[in-house]
A = this chain, B = another copy of it.
Amino acid sequence: MRILRTAAEARAASRAWKREGLRVALVPTMGYLHEGHLSLVRLARARAGRVVVSIFVNPAQFGPAEDLDRYPRDLARDTALCEEAGVDALFCPDAGEVYPPGYATYVTVEGALTAGLCGARRPGHFRGVATVVAKLFAMVEPDAAAFGQKDAQQVAVVRRMTADLNLPVELLVGPTVRETDGLALSSRNACLTPAERAQAPVLKRALDAAAARFEAGERSAAELLSAAGTALAAAPLARPDYVDLVDAETLEPAGPALVRPALLALAVYFGATRLIDNAVLTPSFGSC
């Protein structure tokens, strides 16, 4: 496995593979890899002859009061996991390589895709995400790139940005990978205390509570949100940041009654650690 540290090295490696006729897929990560990331590596591998994993804890997507410094890091372990997973190259630029002195350019996705959910609670977050993804796409020049559905709003923002800026990258979206108790895998799970960890599966239980009501025919957004909220309230360490229902495609607020696929999205604090999770609720139409 190659270790690439500069944009020039990443581009040279990618172009050399393409000259051999190989497709290149990128899995952008912030490191501290878990099975969710590795599932994206497998998804990427299925669509490309060469897989690059990038590891970059992107300062531009953290607010000043957020957990950039606390974000878990373990490059030695990440390297071993990528090697085991058959990754062809690990791209781990430092912050000065990505944002050199005088850096001034940002990519923003405006409107409903970034107005709500995490976009409302983390000002500038998706500007940082869109910017670093545009840069990683330019540095690695991948044919495809894999993202996890756990970060549903990020997927929507990256999809819009990729289409809008005419970037020739196929997006692959992998399903959320969970612990056996339902907790969505996240590098931030490592920050939970044992007591917090024990209650963290409440996010999935809240999604399941709303989904069960939905499956039973409930279409009232207020009722579905109430079901999720009631489930969350059962975990005393959980402090909800938001519980919201939005259109699954546009991320605009869902109407009072669901008629189109909706995204039920949660962000919940446990102490200083903020976890997110989501589920798509898709109204089915009778076979008449």
Q: Which B residues are in CB contact (< 8 Å) with A165?
A: 105, 107, 134-135, 138
Q: Which B residues are in CB contact (< 8 Å) with A103?
A: 164
What is the predominant secondary structure among interface residues of chain A facing chain B?
mixed
Nearest B residue (CB) for A167: B138
A108 contacts which of B7, B105, B111, B134 (Cβ < 8 Å)?
B105
Is A231 close to B, CB under 8 A?
no
Q: In the complex, how many angstroms separate the beta carbon of A31 from the nearest chain B beta carbon? A: 20
Contact with B along A173-199 (1 / 0, CB 8 A): 000000000000000000000000000
- A106 near B108: Cβ-Cβ < 8 Å: yes
Q: How large is the interface on A (under 10, 10 to 19, 20 to 34, 35 or more residues)?
A: 20 to 34
Contact with B along A1-41 (1 / 0, CB 8 A): 00000010001000000000000000000000000000000
Identical copies of this chain, number:
2
Contact with B along A104-124 (1 / 0, CB 8 A): 111111110100000000000
Is A139 close to B, CB under 8 A?
yes
Nearest B residue (CB) for A139: B166
- B160 near A104: Cβ-Cβ < 8 Å: yes
Q: Which B residues are in CB contact (< 8 Å) with A256?
A: none
Is A276 close to B, CB under 8 A?
no
Q: Which B residues are in CB contact (< 8 Å) with A63?
A: none
* CB-CB contacts below 8 Å: A118-152 with B: 130, 134-135, 138-139
Q: In the complex, how many angstroms separate the beta carbon of A134 from the nearest chain B beta carbon? A: 6
A residues lining the B interface (CB < 8 Å): 7, 11, 102-111, 113, 130, 134-135, 138-139, 160-161, 164-168
15 contacts between A and B (CB under 8 A): A11-B168, A104-B109, A104-B110, A104-B113, A104-B164, A105-B108, A105-B110, A105-B130, A105-B160, A105-B161, A105-B165, A106-B108, A106-B110, A138-B167, A139-B166
